[in-house]
């Protein structure tokens, strides 16, 4: 509908330069430039390399998204950007670009949370999120169970990983198997040829006295590494497909078991899964199976919307506009450890109306009062 908010979202928290454009719950453009190949030989994302790649890709990716959406920048109702969490230098490129575009175009700026964006993106696939939303968020940096009565203002963590994130475990196991980086997609592929029951790897924090909603993947990662080392030491060949399948099964077994439990305990009849690991084919299949058995409706966006992208940021930005949430200040900082409980970063004085609701009238003079230090803090 034409009266729904038209928002451009910028994502630069890690190695993807993402620019998406949405109108309400409708995806109009999803342009992504990845620097993943530049990190592969280091076995992980190198922050400085990522920042430089964002800088080079930023303007062309914005132009590509506008062209793909067939809209003029002047038609936008707002510009949303990932304010955190993520790599500080990488976030800074997106935040600075968003400020420059928003200021030049006279549009409100919305600094939003990367994790809430991973949840909100599902609105582009399956329509309005039910409230409260139960979400399992699994990415390279986070693994959490979240209950969100309102994705724009109220996100409550039920549990999270006490050590490695799920995606991190995929990346580390792939490294031990010499499968390259990132590990998730390649393990997913190998696992299809393997037997998930070949090796019984440990399921972290599933004992009767363990915290019900927290996760732990560090012990699993170590168990897999030890198992592989023992094979190699004995001069035996490592059955890569079986290791991949058995490891993957251990991860997704725990994730889905705890997520379904959280839904039941909290009387929520649906489960949203988001973040890069939600692209995993076995996680999707097992979640579907277990949710069906429990009478829970599963909502998982298509894989391209699960991994980092700008559309998810635009989706949350559009929700901010639709719900009249206050815009962010021109000195919006990039916050590498922005807590999941803060879906967006409103201007501190928003209660007094200085930065307005719904899209009009930032206080432009305020911009000139800022020192360079403030702008880039
Ligand atoms: O959300 P994301 O794109 O970036 C972060 O915010 O971290 O997630 C990246 C993570 C990486 O650890 C990657 O290995 C994992 O998601 N991943 C997968 C799959 N695709 C990406 N993990 C398992 N299976 C996949 N198919
Ligand atoms: Zn992410």
**Per-residue pLDDT reduced to its tens digit, 173-216:** 999 999 998 999 999 999 999 999 999 999 999 999 999 999 99
Q: Is 70 exceeded by the pLDDT of residue 158?
A: yes
Q: What pLDDT was estimated at residue 290?
A: 98
**Average pLDDT score, the chain:** 93
Burial classification of residue 133, based on how many CB atoms lie within 10 Å of its CB (0-12 exposed, 13-18 middle, 19 or more buried): buried
Q: Are 133 and 298 in contact (CB under 8 A)?
A: no
Nearest-angstrom CA–CA distance, 16 and 31 = 10
Nearest-angstrom CA–CA distance, 300 and 303 = 8
The Cβ of residue 193 has, within 10 Å, a number of other Cβ atoms equal to 11
User: What is the distance in A from the centroid of ligand 1 to the CA of 170?
Assistant: 8
Side-chain half-sphere CA neighbours of 93 within 13 A: 28
Least confident stretch, 14-18, 31-35, 160-164, 365-369: 365-369
274 CB near ligand 1 (under 6 Å)? no
pLDDT digits (tens, 9 = 90+) for 228-260: 999 999 999 999 999 999 999 999 999 999 999
Q: Are 300 and 278 in contact (CB under 8 A)?
A: yes
Q: Are 149 and 176 in contact (CB under 8 A)?
A: no
Q: What pLDDT was estimated at residue 3?
A: 87
**Tokens encoding 128:** 């309005």
276 CB near ligand 1 (under 6 Å)? yes
Residue 55 makes CB contacts below 8 A (sequence gap 6+) with: 93
pLDDT digits (tens, 9 = 90+) for 94-114: 999 999 999 999 999 999 999
Is residue 33 within a helix (H) or strand (E), and if so which, with residue range? strand 26-34
Nearest-angstrom CA–CA distance, 22 and 76 = 10
317 CB near ligand 1 (under 6 Å)? no
The model carries a pTM of 0.91
């Amino acid at each position: 509908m034409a009266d729904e908010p038209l928002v451009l979202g910028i994502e630069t928290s890690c190695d993807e330069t993402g620019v998406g454009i949405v109108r309400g719950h409708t995806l109009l453009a999803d342009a992504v430039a990845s620097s993943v190949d530049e990190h592969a030989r280091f076995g992980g994302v190198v922050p400085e390399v990522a920042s430089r790649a964002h800088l080079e890709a930023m303007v062309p990716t914005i132009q590509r998204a506008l062209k793909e959406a067939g809209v003029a920048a002047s038609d936008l109702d707002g510009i949303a950007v990932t304010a955190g969490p993520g790599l500080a230098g990488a976030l800074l490129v997106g935040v600075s670009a968003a400020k420059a575009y928003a200021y030049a175009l006279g549009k409100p700026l919305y600094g939003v949370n990367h994790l809430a964006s991973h949840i909100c993106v599902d609105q582009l696939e399956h329509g309005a999120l039910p409230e409260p939303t139960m979400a399992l968020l699994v990415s390279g940096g986070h693994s959490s169970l979240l209950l969100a009565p309102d994705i724009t203002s109220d996100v409550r963590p039920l549990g999270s990983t006490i050590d490695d994130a799920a995606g991190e475990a995929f990346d580390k196991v792939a490294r031990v198997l010499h499968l390259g980086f990132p590990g998730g997609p390649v393990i997913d592929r190998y696992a299809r040829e393997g037997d998930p029951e070949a090796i019984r790897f440990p399921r972290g924090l599933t004992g009767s006295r363990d915290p019900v909603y927290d996760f732990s993947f560090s012990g699993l990662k170590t168990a897999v590494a030890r198992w592989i080392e023992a094979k190699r030491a004995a001069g035996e060949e490592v059955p890569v497909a079986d290791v991949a399948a058995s490891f993957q099964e251990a991860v997704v077994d725990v994730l889905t078991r705890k997520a379904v439990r959280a839904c039941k305990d909290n009387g929520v009849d649906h489960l949203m899964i988001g973040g890069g690991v939600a692209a995993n084919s076995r996680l999707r299949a097992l979640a579907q199976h277990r949710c069906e058995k429990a009478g829970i409706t599963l909502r998982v966006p298509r894989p391209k919307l699960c991994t980092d992208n700008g559309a998810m940021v635009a989706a949350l930005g559009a929700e901010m506009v639709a719900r009249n949430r206050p815009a962010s200040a021109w000195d919006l900082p990039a916050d590498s450890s922005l807590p999941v409980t803060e879906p967006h970063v409103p201007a501190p004085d928003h209660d007094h109306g200085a930065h307005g609701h719904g899209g009009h009238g930032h206080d432009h003079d305020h911009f000139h009062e800022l020192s360079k230090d403030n702008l880039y803090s």
